[in-house]
Amino acid sequence: MNPTPPQSAAVKEKSKFAAFWSMLLADKLALAAVIFLLIVITCAFIGPFFLEYDAGRQNLRGRNAPPFDLSRGWQFFLGGDQLGRPLLARIIVAAHNTMMVAGGSVVAAMAVGGTLGLIAGNSRGRAAQIIPRLADVIMSFPSLLLAVIVLYMLEPSVGNIIIVLAITRIPIYLRTTCAEILEVRERMFVQAAKVMGASEMRIIFRHMLPVIFPTLLTIATLDFAFVMLAESALSFLGIGIQPPEITWGLMVSQGRPYLTTAWWLSFWPGLAIVLTTLSLNLLSNWMRTALDPKQRWRLEIGDRKNG
């Protein structure tokens, strides 16, 4: 073991945030992804306040208006849809529902799955046997069918879609948490805490959760992209969100009859989906490296070369 030079060590620990920031700067793609995601999130939150009216206003003269034409105003920059509504404004407004569904499902699935995984990983009793089986059962359920069943019985509102998608994603978090806990609880520092007399709760929340949280966060980022795709597929098939609500997937579906004459109706919302999921994937990849002490050097070397 080399004695670490104390100076550089002190500087390095000055701010974790600064360290992450410099690692983010080192990976230009990840940086672009973060910026794009921030824009999307901003649109999702404040877009509807300003554009809800424009996005819903029909304008027969603007039907299937071609893109890149600024004469009708910036909202028609990406063209107009089959009812003459401005596509750009609609995409911004639809970001709200799309993000809500994906975000809601991921948070719900992570909360439920993570908690169940914690319980399964920490109990030595029957829960450790039964809970993972539950994950198997959900996994072997065709998720499309689950969606159909629930949506038949309930109604395809945003809330219900979130529930359906969340259920299908629970096993991912459950299994990851459970597996990680089983691994972490054998680690020496957990044993050391036990020898000191730390309570079970303290061991879980002070020692184990901080270790597995980065992994969960990385998975959640990736999963956010997956759920977005799933939601848009449901909407596309007509068993997801129903008009007049809009999501990107629904917009692609609505543009489909006009493919031959007005490709932009389906193209732009689809592109929004691609760019958002791509950004999430890039971010997740970056996180996997940045949050893993063993991989972090890759970014730090990159930093040196670029700077």
Query: To the nearest whole angstrom, how small is the minimum distance from the Cβ of residue 61 to other proteins?
Result: 25
Cβ of 229: how many Cβ atoms within 10 Å?
Answer: 15
Task: State the Cα–Cα distance between residues 57 and 257, nearest whole angstrom.
Answer: 21
Q: CA torsion angle for 289, 294, 299, 304 (degrees, to 10)?
A: 170
Query: To the nearest whole angstrom, how small is the minimum distance from the Cβ of residue 229 to other proteins?
Result: 5
CB nearer other proteins, residue 59 or residue 281: 281
Task: State the Cα–Cα distance between residues 188 and 194, nearest whole angstrom.
Answer: 10
Per-residue contact flags (x/-) with other proteins for residues 213 to 242, judged by CB under 8 A: ------------x---x--xx--xx-x---
Task: State the Cα–Cα distance between residues 30 and 21, nearest whole angstrom.
Answer: 11
The residue type at 214: P
Structure tokens given for 77:
């920059």
Per-residue contact flags (x/-) with other proteins for residues 178 to 217, judged by CB under 8 A: ---------xxx-xxxxxxxxx--x---xx--xx------
Window 245-274: residues binding other proteins (CB under 8 A): 249, 252-253, 256, 259-260, 263, 266-267, 270-271, 273-274
Window 123-162: residues binding other proteins (CB under 8 A): 133, 136-142, 144-145, 148-149, 152-153
CB nearer other proteins, residue 54 or residue 173: 173
> Does residue 49 interact with other proteins by CB under 8 A?
no
CA 155, 159, 163, 164 dihedral sign is: positive
Window 53-112: residues binding other proteins (CB under 8 A): none
CB nearer other proteins, residue 197 or residue 244: 197
CB nearer other proteins, residue 54 or residue 299: 299
Structure tokens given for 238:
């007509």
Residues 6+ apart with CB under 8 A from 113: 169, 170, 171, 172, 173, 174, 177
